[in-house]
Amino acid sequence: MNREPAKSFQDLIVWPKAHQFVLNIYNFSSNFPKSEMYGLTSQLRRAAFSILANIAEGFDILPTLPLREK
């Protein structure tokens, strides 16, 4: 299966999967007790969102990294 190179991070196969994961985490954590709103709920949501942020950041940085010489 040949694919064109991704033009943006949103073209990556992993992007919609990670996005759906974040939506699932937000939905799942909405059932947590209110006492956990600023503890576990917040930490879990931030961790899930960081997946998307790292994909976007990595896509932006990767083309500028020098190739290693063999």
* pLDDT tens sequence across 26-54: 999 999 999 999 999 999 999 999 999 99
The mean of the pLDDT values for the chain is 88
Residue 55 lies in a domain: yes
pTM, rounded to two decimals: 0.78
In the predicted model, is pLDDT for residue 67 greater than 80? no
Q: Quick one: pLDDT band at residue 64, thresholds 50, 70, 90?
A: low
Q: State the total domains in the chain.
A: 1
Helix H or strand E encompassing 49: helix 40-61
Q: How far apart (Å, rounded) are the C-alpha atoms in residues 20 and 13?
A: 12
Helix (H, G, I), strand (E, B) or coil at 9: helix
In the predicted model, is pLDDT for residue 15 greater than 80? yes
User: What residue numbers bound the domain in which 30 lies?
Assistant: 10-61
